[in-house]
Structure formats: structure tokens, C-alpha cells
Amino acid sequence: MSTHGNRAVRQRVRAAATAAAAMALIAAPLCITTTASAAEAHVDNPYAGATQYVNPTYAAAVESAATRAGDPTLAAKMRTVAKQPTAVWMDRISAINGNADGNGLKFHLDNAVAQKGSGPIVFNLVIYDLPGRDCYALASNGELPATDAGLARYKTEYIDPIAALLADPKYADIRISATIEPDSLPNLVTNISEAACQQAAPYYRAGVKYALDKLHAIPNVYNYIDIGHSGWLGWDSNAGPAATLFAEVAKSTTAGFASVDGFVSDVANTTPLNEPFLPDSSISVGGTPIRSSDFYEWNFDFDEADFTAHMHRLLVAAGFPSSLGMLIDTSRNGWGGPNRPTAVSTSTDVNTYVNQSRVDQRVHRGAWCNPMGAGIGELPQATPAGYAASHIDAFVWIKPPGESDGASSDIPNDQGKRFDRMCDPTFVSPKLENQLTGATPNAPLAGQWFEDQFRTLVANAYPVIPGSGTNPTDTTAPSVPTRLTAGTTTATTVPLSWTASTDNVAVTGYDVYRGTTLVGTSTSTSYTVTGLTAATAYSFTVRAKDAAGNVSAASTAVSATTQSGSVTDTTAPSVPTGLTAGTTTSTSVPLSWTASTDNAGGSGLAGYEVYRGSTLVGTTTSTSYTVTGLTAATAYSFTVRAKDIAGNVSAASSAVSATTQSGSVTDTTAPSVPTGLTAGTTTSTSVPLSWTASTDNVAVTGYDVYRGTTLVGTSTSTSYTVTGLTAATAYSFTVRAKDAAGNVSAASTAVSATTQPGASTGSCSVKYTANSWNNGFTASVKVTNTGTSALTGWTLGFSFANGQSVTQGWSAEWSQSGSAVTARSAAWNGTLGAGQSVDIGFNGSHSGTNNAPTAFTINGAACTVA
């Protein structure tokens, strides 16, 4: 884990319901008689074409604040906020039936039925009571301990009653969007070194799995897993492991990837949706990359639009379907008001440039608790335009604006919530580079009404909140974009950039034209036009647009000519600088360095090679690497070289020396025995297994999986799929945990599973397409069952003609031996009905020729090539 990722990990505390002070304004719960009806089919985007539930409890609190506003304009804006849909938080067991802080779940569901018109309605629900909840912060610690007993209560007293209520037929017409356990899985990516997070880790995995299983079984429930935000998981060294972790948890569920409808970012946080004056995190100022500034700490993802696009790519590569949807909580990420910049900085100092240009006005991206100066962001909106790469299902308000993140002083309570100094405005925090927290003073407990902050959020909202209604008529077009410029072209592309437009409400995006042809849209102030012809002159213009559909006049045109033919890249990247060795162990040395750059118009950085003396010991795509397998009490010298996609390699960095620690303590303690071993849905040749993580006095390094007394595989996670089995055969499996010292636990309790009957063969067709670049390519494969009976446990086979290699695959278990490639069905797509298709794919490498395979088989039978 990189240190920069650890600096900005704290992000938000949640709210359960509105303060008791507002309850006097609430009418008695509705008594509703409904006729049960069948639930609609599960849709791709539940928000599309739907209204959303407006919480009357929250609306009453906002109305009460409006009567005390003392400013008619501010009061009118508050009343607009009162009409917005917000999520209902189940932050402890008593919240299900209702408690002193708010009405119960049934009250809200009944009100949602009453609010439903002729079209669909979405009810936003937050599942938030894991054992050991919020293992890193204190302000929102929960009621259940990270123990087996805590997990048992979570299942039987929390998830089971919620699922039973949601499954009531009278709520079948409500689309229930469940945000699953904010903070939990992201904490396991960046904060696993904390003892409390280590204790909570197995219960987070098991609890989220259980919640996904129970809720996915209800057809009108849509599961969205919390994904942190760009200032937490945006670094490559955090984002990649996060995608892997989310995939592992999804694959452990009964339905696999199908149990997850999407992910939600920025829950209860204030990271902006867009940084309009910092649209390109890769540029340099004064010769220094702006992402290296103190505020961004080498993170490429400056805002949530970039982060959700980044994570969607990684999640799909990890096996999730491309239809995966993303939600962004925009309830507090507007950052408007008088301190919002209106233009990009002209400074040549990188920190000054970033600080004068960013709309995020926090002292540090890790400042998460009731930040002063924040504002409400975009109003809730389904399928917002201009975010194609982010795959956004909706902007939502998961954190109701005005509910506290945490108390600014110690307040005794019976909710498990503790005093976190990040909520104390007088605290100088080491986590924030020794700066004051910037928290708003006089804050109550997390989840309770905090009117001082609410007034600020409404006043600083961006876009500005209209004074009445939710959709005021806007007939004013944005200003015309200026300073349209073309960058360095290639044979097929022209990069464009321009100065941001302004609008009376808000600019939502830009349309890019080649002559009179619309070629693309952008939510930032840059766009690269692709698919052009070499050695050809083009003219481009840009128009700005707003949410009401108003479009500006065209910018002044800019001309650009593409290069002639392909340009060979022979320029090596710059030499890595700042190579540093971190704290060593007796066998390892962690290294980090400053990123290299590649020549403009070149092929781009591919990664780094790490050398111990003259020996290549590893490669990485990030700017950190831990060298392992070293000898205790020994001095070593390390260098790093950068390489680009074209194969050019830089000179070696300056060497850094480091000495491993002397000796190590003999570890003779075996890990605890794995528990909860479970077999998932089998195929004719495989059995998926999952179990609860073991613990160890040092660390568990993996698990050995046995079929009877035969070792059949190892895993570093808490799941494994045993393959190569015989159809219609009963097997018994056990698991043993092991640590780095070679200690192995006793075997788990055995689990039995029987494989399905033999796979059917039949008619099939395969469509193979590939997009190549330099020495890489992405292949998409559509497999169709053209027979009359289902294919069960299918296996695709084909051979490469030109020595290509599969480097990473998705939606199937990919393997390669020589030129022969095999793709075995995953647990969630193992049955392919007559006439049905499945889309799978992979990334690969080639040496210059990339001819498509000419023959394919399914379960050994030849297929038609489509």
C-alpha cells in the first residue's frame, strides 16, 4: 500500500435519520391498504424513468430550518432542498422498527407506496451495521462487535428482518436501491494495517456477502456497493486491489457478479463531481506534474467523474459485466460560494496553480468531518448526460445534507459512536500534514441534525439551488468557449482543449464538432478526436451546453493536420527520480519513486523495471514496489528504469541502498482453523468454495484446499474454485490456513458437494473481434448456443495463429498452453440456454501480427464462426 493512499483515507460519516427535534413536525405513520402485485422485471438502471422517495422526516427538519433562516432567499432554497429525495439509513438494529432518532423502515416503505404515481419509484436505502463497523474512524463506530457473535446478530437481527420486510408483496412495485455498508470494504484496502480492521476483515467480507445474497434474492432490490471516493481509492496502488477485493466478494455470493448492480462513490463525502479548471491531471506546470502537488499527492483522479470511470474500467476487467452502473452521492460536493475559483490559475508554481484552480476548498483531501465551506452539489438526477465513461446510473443524495458527520467534542451515547479528533476544529492532525481539520464547530453526534452546517451547505451549493421548485425554466445559454487549441496530433487523432464557459445555472458539458459534424461530448475542457485520416487538415469548434438544453454559439474554429502515416517511437521515457527505500524487514525492502514521463506523441509509459544491483527483480505499473526474498542483515543497492509501450527503456535511476533487518523471531504458531466452509453452485466439472478467514499471530499468507486427502490448490483469498472434476460425482473438501513461517492449521470441517450431470454438447456459433494497438490488443468473444438444449458447464477452445498471449481475461476462467487457449464458464454464466449468448473477453499481447483464430469448439464440438 502506498503511503499517499493512506494519507487521504478518511472520508465520511453517515446519518441514520433526522434529529428527534424534527419529529414533532411529522404526521403519524400512514395506514395503507394495498393489493399485492407481481414485481416488475429487474431492469438495468432502476433510476431511469423513475421518481425517487422523498423522506418526510427529513423534509420536516429542513422546513423547520427554513422557518428560522432569517433570509427569504436562503429559506426558499431550503424549501427546494426539502423536496429532494434522500436515502433512509438503517444504522443500527433499532432503526428497523424505529427509535428516538426516527421512524422505522416500514413507515418509509409505506410512504413510498403512497408517493408512487403511475410510473416507477426508487427507494434509497442504506445498509450500515456491520460487525466492527468503521474500523478506522471513531465517529461512526457501530453497535456490533467484530466477533462471531456480532456476525450472528448482524445476520439474524439485522439483515434477515430487513430482507423480510423488503420482500413483502405490497412493496413489490418499489425499486429499492440498497447502498451496501459504506466504508467497509474500502477500509480493507488501505487500512488493513490497523488492528481493528484486521479484526473486522473476515466479518466485513462475510457480512457483505450475506447482505448481497439476501437482498439480491428479492427481485425489486438493487445492490450498490460503497466504493469510497477518488481521494481514498483513486491511486492506482489502491484502485487495482480494490477492484480485486470487490470481485472476490461478489464471486463468493450465490449469484456471483449478478448479485451486484453497481457501485456508489462519494457517500457522505465532499469530493467534487468535476474539477472544471483541472480537467487533465497529467499536465505539468513549470515542468512539474500537477498531480504531484501537495493536495493531490500523485493521484490521477482529481474528481468523482474521473474516479468512477477509472473504477468501472478496473471492475469490468476484474469480471463484472460492462452493464455495471455507478452512482455518485452529490449531496455535499458542490463547493460553490464566494471562494469558488472562476478561471484556471496562471501561476507557474505547481502548488499555487493547483490551489488557485481547484474548487475543493478543504485543507487536505483527507479532511472528511463536517468540512467548513462545503456546498450541496447536483440535485438528484437519473442518467445524467455527459458521463459516458463513468456509466452513471444517477446522481443521488445518500447523505442527507444537514446531518452531522460526527461530534466536535466527546458526547456520551448508547449508539457506539465515539469522539474522533478529525471532527474537532481545534485539532492539528498529523494525517492532514499537521494542519487544522477544518471541521465545523459545535457539531452533534453523527446522524443528528446540524443546522449550522446545513445553512452553509445551502448557501454554498453549486449549481446554485433555485428558490422554488426543482426544475426552474432556464432559457439562458452558456457563454461561448474560448481559446480553443489543438495539441500534438498523431496520424489518427487531434487533442483539443479550451477555456471553460460560464452559465447562469451551470455548464453541464461541451459538444465537439469536426466541421458541421458532432464527433463527441465532454464534461471537461478537453477532448481527443479520434478515427481521423493521416496527413489530412481538419477544422474543429466547440459549443457549451447546460442542463436545460441551452447550447452556446460555436467557438472560434481551430485547424489541425494529422501526421502522415505512423510515427515510430524511439525515445525512451525520462529517468525515474526520487528513488527512496522505506522501512525494511529482514526479508524485504519497500521502494518508491517519482513518475517518469514519455515523449509527447509517444506510445506512453508501460511501467517500470526494478533492479537489485544488475538483476531484474520485478516490474510494476505504479511508482512503488516491494522487493522480497532478501537475506537478513544484508546491504543491497536498487535502481529503477522506466519503459514505454514501444519497448524503449530509460537509463537507470540513481541507486538507493538499504539494509535488511537482522534476524527474525521464530514463529511456531499455526493460524486458526478456517470456519464456515461452504460450497456454491457447482457445474459438471467444478465446485466453488468459500470460507471465513483465519487469524494468525503474525499473518495468514494463504490457504490449502483439499479434495479428500489430495491437495488440489492454494488461495490467498477466502474462496477457491476446484476444477477438473467428474460430472455427477460427490466430493468432500476441507481447507487449511498457513502462514509465512510454514505453520499450517488443522483442517476445517469438511463440506460435501456433488457436481452437476455431464455437460451438454450441441450446436454453437462464436463471434470473435479484436482491437489492436502496438503490441497489445483487446478481444471480445460472443458465444451463442444455436442448439435446442441448454449448454451446462461449457468450455470454449481455440488456438492462436501468431503466437499471441492472453494476459488478462474476464467473465470466464482463461488459461493458455502454447497456442491453445481455453475459457471455462464462470459460476454465474455456466448454463447457456438454447438461443442464448454470453459475452466474454480478454486483453492480450502480440508481436506485430494478430490474425484472428479460425476455429472454435464448445465442449469439444466444432462451432460456426460468425
Q: Which three cell numbers stand for residue 413?
A: 451515547
569-582 exposure pattern, b = at least 16 Cβ within 10 A, e = fewer: bebbbbbbeebebe
Torsion sign (Cα): 187, 192, 198, 201: positive
Tell me which amino acid residue 217 is: A
Q: Which three cell numbers stand for residue 826?
A: 464462470
Q: Which of 110, 173, 183, 511 is catalytic?
A: 183
**Residue of 445, 444, 448 whose CA lies nearest to 403:** 448
Is 424 in the active site?
no
673-700 exposure pattern, b = at least 16 Cβ within 10 A, e = fewer: bbebbebbbbbbbbbbbbbbbbebeeeb
Contact present, 496 and 485 (Cβ < 8 Å): yes
3-class SS string, 196-218: HHHHHHHHHHHHHHHHHHHHHCC
In whole angstroms, what separates CA 479 from the centre of its chain? 34
In the block, which residue shows the cell 490551489? 355
Characterise 561 by phi-psi region: left (phi > 0), alpha (psi -120 to 50), beta (else): beta
d(CA 189, CA 240): 10
Q: Measure Cα distances from 135 to 82, 221, 313, 407, 409 in Å.
A: 33, 27, 28, 17, 20
Q: Which of 173, 226, 236, 405 is catalytic?
A: 405
Q: Which residues contact 531 (CB under 8 A, 6 or more apart)?
A: 492
Is 393 in the active site?
no
**Residue of 278, 268, 279, 292 whose CA lies nearest to 86:** 268
Contact present, 446 and 406 (Cβ < 8 Å): yes
In DSSP terms, 715 is beta-bridged to 703
Contact present, 780 and 841 (Cβ < 8 Å): yes
Torsion sign (Cα): 149, 150, 151, 154: positive
d(CA 442, CA 783): 61
Contact present, 678 and 690 (Cβ < 8 Å): yes
Q: Which three cell numbers stand for residue 82?
A: 426539502
DSSP letter for each residue of 124-169 = EEEE---TT-SSS-STT--SS-SSHHHHHHIIIIIIHHHHHHHT-G
Element at 316 (helix H, strand E)? helix 304-317
Q: Label residue 809 exposed, middle or buried (CB < 10 Å: 0-12, 13-18, 19+).
A: buried
The residues annotated as belonging to the active site are 183, 405
